[in-house]
Amino acid sequence: MEMSPRVQRVADQIQRELAILIQLEVKDPRVGMVSITGVDVSKDLAYAKVFITVLNTLSDDREVNTSTLSEPGELDKLEIEENLKALAKASGFLRTMLAKRLRIRSVPKLEFHYDNSIERGQHLSSLIDDALAADRKHHAEE
Distance between alpha carbon 126 and the CA centroid of its chain, in Å?
21
Mean pLDDT for all residues in the chain: 84
Whole-model pTM? 0.73
Domains observed in the chain: 5-116 (3.30.300.20)
pLDDT of 62 > 60? The answer is no
In 3D, which of 56, 18, 9 has the Cα closest to residue 37? Answer: 18
Higher pLDDT, 66 or 134: 134
